[in-house]
Protein backbone atom coordinates (compact mmCIF):
# COMPACT_ATOMS: atom_id res chain seq x y z
CA UNK A 1 0.00 0.00 0.00
CA UNK A 2 0.97 3.66 0.00
CA UNK A 3 -0.05 5.33 3.25
CA UNK A 4 2.41 8.23 3.43
CA UNK A 5 4.20 10.24 0.77
CA UNK A 6 6.21 13.41 0.20
CA UNK A 7 4.92 16.42 -1.73
CA UNK A 8 7.28 19.39 -1.69
CA UNK A 9 7.52 20.50 -5.33
CA UNK A 10 5.96 23.89 -5.97
CA UNK A 11 2.91 24.37 -8.23
CA UNK A 12 5.29 25.94 -10.75
CA UNK A 13 7.47 22.81 -10.87
CA UNK A 14 4.41 20.55 -11.08
CA UNK A 15 2.93 22.66 -13.87
CA UNK A 16 6.09 22.24 -15.92
CA UNK A 17 6.66 18.59 -15.07
CA UNK A 18 3.12 17.45 -15.90
CA UNK A 19 2.43 19.88 -18.77
CA UNK A 20 -0.47 21.50 -16.92
CA UNK A 21 -2.50 24.04 -18.87
CA UNK A 22 -4.65 25.43 -16.05
CA UNK A 23 -3.72 25.93 -12.39
CA UNK A 24 -6.82 26.14 -10.25
CA UNK A 25 -5.22 25.88 -6.83
CA UNK A 26 -4.12 28.82 -4.76
CA UNK A 27 -0.29 28.56 -4.51
CA UNK A 28 -0.53 29.81 -0.94
CA UNK A 29 -2.83 26.89 -0.07
CA UNK A 30 -0.52 24.24 -1.56
CA UNK A 31 1.68 23.56 1.44
CA UNK A 32 4.79 21.43 1.10
CA UNK A 33 4.69 18.26 3.18
CA UNK A 34 7.33 15.65 3.97
CA UNK A 35 4.70 13.46 5.61
CA UNK A 36 1.44 13.52 3.68
CA UNK A 37 -1.28 11.61 5.52
CA UNK A 38 -4.81 10.53 4.58
CA UNK A 39 -7.42 13.35 4.57
CA UNK A 40 -4.76 15.84 3.46
CA UNK A 41 -5.74 18.11 0.58
CA UNK A 42 -2.99 17.72 -2.02
CA UNK A 43 -2.14 18.69 -5.64
CA UNK A 44 -3.62 16.39 -8.28
CA UNK A 45 -3.46 16.52 -12.08
CA UNK A 46 -6.59 15.63 -14.05
CA UNK A 47 -8.20 16.44 -17.37
CA UNK A 48 -11.06 18.92 -17.69
CA UNK A 49 -12.64 19.75 -21.07
CA UNK A 50 -9.63 18.44 -22.93
CA UNK A 51 -6.83 20.13 -21.02
CA UNK A 52 -4.75 19.33 -17.96
CA UNK A 53 -5.66 20.97 -14.66
CA UNK A 54 -3.75 21.14 -11.37
CA UNK A 55 -5.91 21.49 -8.28
CA UNK A 56 -6.14 20.49 -4.63
CA UNK A 57 -8.04 17.29 -3.81
CA UNK A 58 -8.67 15.39 -0.54
CA UNK A 59 -6.84 12.07 -0.09
CA UNK A 60 -9.20 9.16 0.56
CA UNK A 61 -11.70 8.40 -2.19
CA UNK A 62 -15.36 8.88 -1.28
CA UNK A 63 -17.77 7.36 -3.84
CA UNK A 64 -20.75 9.48 -4.85
CA UNK A 65 -23.11 7.01 -3.14
CA UNK A 66 -21.36 7.15 0.24
CA UNK A 67 -23.35 8.38 3.23
CA UNK A 68 -20.44 10.31 4.75
CA UNK A 69 -16.77 11.15 4.32
CA UNK A 70 -15.49 8.53 6.75
CA UNK A 71 -15.42 5.82 4.08
CA UNK A 72 -12.50 7.69 2.51
CA UNK A 73 -10.23 6.62 5.36
CA UNK A 74 -10.49 3.04 4.05
CA UNK A 75 -9.97 4.06 0.42
CA UNK A 76 -6.64 5.82 0.33
CA UNK A 77 -5.42 3.01 -1.95
CA UNK A 78 -7.17 1.01 -4.66
CA UNK A 79 -5.79 -2.39 -5.65
CA UNK A 80 -5.20 -2.58 -9.41
CA UNK A 81 -6.76 -6.05 -9.58
CA UNK A 82 -10.06 -4.79 -8.13
CA UNK A 83 -10.68 -1.69 -10.20
CA UNK A 84 -13.21 -3.35 -12.48
CA UNK A 85 -14.95 -5.42 -9.81
CA UNK A 86 -15.40 -2.84 -7.05
CA UNK A 87 -18.43 -0.55 -7.06
CA UNK A 88 -16.24 2.06 -5.39
CA UNK A 89 -13.68 2.18 -8.21
CA UNK A 90 -15.13 0.84 -11.46
CA UNK A 91 -16.79 4.02 -12.73
CA UNK A 92 -13.87 6.20 -11.64
CA UNK A 93 -11.42 3.91 -13.46
CA UNK A 94 -13.49 4.28 -16.62
CA UNK A 95 -14.02 8.06 -16.42
CA UNK A 96 -12.06 9.84 -13.67
CA UNK A 97 -8.38 8.95 -13.69
CA UNK A 98 -5.72 11.32 -12.39
CA UNK A 99 -2.04 11.71 -11.62
CA UNK A 100 -0.99 12.27 -8.02
CA UNK A 101 2.40 14.04 -8.00
CA UNK A 102 4.84 12.93 -5.30
CA UNK A 103 8.49 13.61 -4.55
CA UNK A 104 8.78 10.21 -2.92
CA UNK A 105 6.92 7.83 -0.63
CA UNK A 106 7.43 5.71 2.47
CA UNK A 107 6.91 2.03 3.08
CA UNK A 108 7.37 -0.07 6.21
CA UNK A 109 9.29 -3.35 6.35
CA UNK A 110 8.36 -6.02 8.89
CA UNK A 111 11.40 -7.05 10.91
CA UNK A 112 11.80 -10.74 11.59
CA UNK A 113 11.46 -11.57 15.28
CA UNK A 114 10.35 -8.06 16.16
CA UNK A 115 7.12 -6.10 16.44
CA UNK A 116 8.92 -3.07 15.02
CA UNK A 117 8.73 -2.02 11.40
CA UNK A 118 11.54 -0.26 9.55
CA UNK A 119 10.42 2.69 7.40
CA UNK A 120 12.01 3.17 3.98
CA UNK A 121 11.93 6.16 1.65
CA UNK A 122 11.58 5.68 -2.12
CA UNK A 123 12.11 8.26 -4.85
CA UNK A 124 13.00 8.53 -8.52
CA UNK A 125 16.73 8.25 -9.17
CA UNK A 126 16.67 11.42 -11.26
CA UNK A 127 14.93 13.40 -8.49
CA UNK A 128 11.93 14.28 -10.68
CA UNK A 129 8.42 14.13 -9.18
CA UNK A 130 6.74 10.74 -9.42
CA UNK A 131 3.44 10.29 -11.27
CA UNK A 132 1.24 8.05 -9.14
CA UNK A 133 -1.75 6.66 -11.01
CA UNK A 134 -4.92 7.63 -9.19
CA UNK A 135 -8.70 7.93 -9.39
CA UNK A 136 -10.90 10.83 -8.29
CA UNK A 137 -14.53 11.32 -7.35
CA UNK A 138 -16.98 14.08 -6.42
CA UNK A 139 -19.13 13.71 -3.29
CA UNK A 140 -21.67 15.85 -1.52
CA UNK A 141 -23.44 15.22 1.75
CA UNK A 142 -26.86 13.71 0.92
CA UNK A 143 -28.24 15.00 4.22
CA UNK A 144 -27.37 18.60 3.36
CA UNK A 145 -29.41 18.93 0.16
CA UNK A 146 -28.51 20.07 -3.33
CA UNK A 147 -26.74 23.18 -2.06
CA UNK A 148 -24.12 21.14 -0.19
CA UNK A 149 -20.55 21.81 -1.31
CA UNK A 150 -19.02 19.27 -3.68
CA UNK A 151 -15.91 17.60 -2.26
CA UNK A 152 -13.36 16.05 -4.59
CA UNK A 153 -11.38 13.08 -3.30
CA UNK A 154 -8.72 10.75 -4.70
CA UNK A 155 -7.13 7.37 -4.18
CA UNK A 156 -3.71 6.02 -5.20
CA UNK A 157 -3.71 2.77 -7.15
CA UNK A 158 -1.38 0.00 -5.98
CA UNK A 159 0.17 -2.89 -7.90
CA UNK A 160 2.28 -5.94 -7.27
CA UNK A 161 5.80 -4.99 -6.04
CA UNK A 162 8.83 -4.75 -8.31
CA UNK A 163 12.18 -6.30 -7.41
CA UNK A 164 13.23 -3.25 -5.39
CA UNK A 165 10.05 -3.27 -3.32
CA UNK A 166 9.62 -7.02 -2.76
CA UNK A 167 11.97 -7.28 0.25
CA UNK A 168 10.12 -4.35 1.88
CA UNK A 169 6.42 -4.80 1.11
CA UNK A 170 4.01 -6.84 -1.02
CA UNK A 171 2.37 -3.80 -2.68
CA UNK A 172 3.60 -0.58 -4.26
CA UNK A 173 1.98 2.51 -5.79
CA UNK A 174 1.28 2.53 -9.51
CA UNK A 175 3.91 4.75 -11.15
CA UNK A 176 3.03 5.95 -14.65
CA UNK A 177 5.69 6.48 -17.31
CA UNK A 178 5.48 9.85 -19.04
CA UNK A 179 4.69 8.12 -22.33
CA UNK A 180 1.38 6.92 -20.83
CA UNK A 181 0.14 10.19 -19.32
CA UNK A 182 -1.97 11.24 -22.31
CA UNK A 183 -3.66 7.85 -22.46
CA UNK A 184 -4.24 7.75 -18.71
CA UNK A 185 -5.66 11.26 -18.31
CA UNK A 186 -7.87 11.24 -21.43
CA UNK A 187 -11.37 11.43 -19.96
CA UNK A 188 -12.85 10.18 -23.24
CA UNK A 189 -10.73 7.04 -23.16
CA UNK A 190 -12.98 4.23 -21.88
CA UNK A 191 -10.82 1.36 -23.19
CA UNK A 192 -10.38 -0.42 -19.87
CA UNK A 193 -8.54 -3.34 -21.50
CA UNK A 194 -5.82 -1.02 -22.82
CA UNK A 195 -5.76 0.94 -19.57
CA UNK A 196 -5.42 -2.30 -17.63
CA UNK A 197 -2.12 -2.95 -19.37
CA UNK A 198 -0.70 0.12 -17.61
CA UNK A 199 -1.40 -1.34 -14.17
CA UNK A 200 2.04 -2.89 -13.74
CA UNK A 201 4.98 -2.33 -11.36
CA UNK A 202 7.56 0.24 -12.37
CA UNK A 203 11.00 -0.82 -13.56
CA UNK A 204 13.25 -1.51 -10.53
CA UNK A 205 15.99 0.79 -11.83
CA UNK A 206 13.69 3.80 -11.91
CA UNK A 207 13.62 4.16 -8.13
CA UNK A 208 16.10 4.23 -5.29
CA UNK A 209 15.43 3.61 -1.60
CA UNK A 210 17.03 3.90 1.81
CA UNK A 211 15.98 3.32 5.44
CA UNK A 212 14.82 6.35 7.42
CA UNK A 213 14.07 7.17 11.04
CA UNK A 214 10.88 6.06 12.74
CA UNK A 215 10.14 9.76 13.23
CA UNK A 216 8.00 9.42 10.10
CA UNK A 217 5.63 7.15 12.03
CA UNK A 218 4.10 10.19 13.72
CA UNK A 219 2.18 12.62 11.49
CA UNK A 220 3.27 15.56 13.66
CA UNK A 221 6.82 15.09 12.36
CA UNK A 222 7.05 16.88 9.05
CA UNK A 223 10.40 18.16 7.84
CA UNK A 224 13.36 17.31 5.59
CA UNK A 225 15.02 15.40 8.44
CA UNK A 226 12.54 12.58 7.72
CA UNK A 227 14.44 11.83 4.52
CA UNK A 228 17.83 11.39 6.20
CA UNK A 229 19.35 7.92 5.90
CA UNK A 230 19.12 5.84 9.06
CA UNK A 231 21.16 2.89 10.21
CA UNK A 232 19.41 -0.46 9.93
CA UNK A 233 18.79 -2.30 13.18
CA UNK A 234 21.24 -5.22 13.26
CA UNK A 235 18.98 -7.28 15.53
User: What is the C-alpha separation between 208 and 210, in angstroms, rounded?
Assistant: 7
Beta carbons within 10 angstroms of residue 94's beta carbon: 17
- Asked if 2 is an active-site residue, the reply is yes
- Asked if 98 is an active-site residue, the reply is no
Catalytic residue among 47, 98, 107, 137: 107
Positions annotated as catalytic residues are 2, 107
Amino acid sequence: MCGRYVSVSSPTILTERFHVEEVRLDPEAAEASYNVTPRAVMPVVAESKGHRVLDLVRWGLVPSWAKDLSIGDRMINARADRLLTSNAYKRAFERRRCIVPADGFYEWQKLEGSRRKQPWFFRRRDGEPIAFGGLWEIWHDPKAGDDAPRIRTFTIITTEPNELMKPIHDRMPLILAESTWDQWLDAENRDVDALGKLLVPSAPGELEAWPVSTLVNKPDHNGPELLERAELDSQ
